[in-house]
Structure 1
Amino acid sequence: MHVTVNGEVVELSESTPLLDYLISRNLNPAVLVVEYNRKILHRDRWSQIQIGDGDTLEILSFVGGG
């Protein structure tokens, strides 16, 4: 199964819940914004979304600085 994540094609072995995918990549959900198939998802829906073949994700993180 192929998914595009931040412009790069990633191969997943099976459909995966979005929240599980983020955690498996050692990403902190508290500082992320996720666009799923061109729609920004509210954090409450991340555990309900199953990433499937052909899906597109854009994952952005907040960083502090000055």
Structure 2
Amino acid sequence: MIRLTINGEEQEFPDATPLIEYVSSLGVNPKMIAIAYNGEVLRRDEWEEITLSEGDAVEVVRAVGGG
């Protein structure tokens, strides 16, 4: 098991997880979110290069329409 901080909450995952797999599991349109990984905002083309591991912090921000 590894521990990650996702949106400020500690969560456990069975093992290292590709970021793109985690994003897919959210069931949201990837074009409508932004991701910060260990404090750095990632470009979408970087998502496939990242594997989440022990101690990583991920913030997922969803775009919300309004007016």
Q: What TM-score comes out, normalization by structure 2 length?
A: 0.92
Amino acid at match of 1:61: R
**Who is 1:6 aligned against?**
7
* Structure 1 unpaired stretches of 5+: none
Aligned CA RMSD, in angstroms, stands at: 0.8
Give 4+ residue runs of structure 1 displaced > 2 Å after superposition: none
Q: What TM-score comes out, normalization by structure 1 length?
A: 0.94
Identity %: 39
Structure (1/2) with the larger helix percentage: 2
Give aligned pairs, total. 66
- 1:15-60: CA deviations, max 9, x gaps? 1111110111212211111000000001101011000010000110
* Structure 2 unpaired stretches of 5+: none
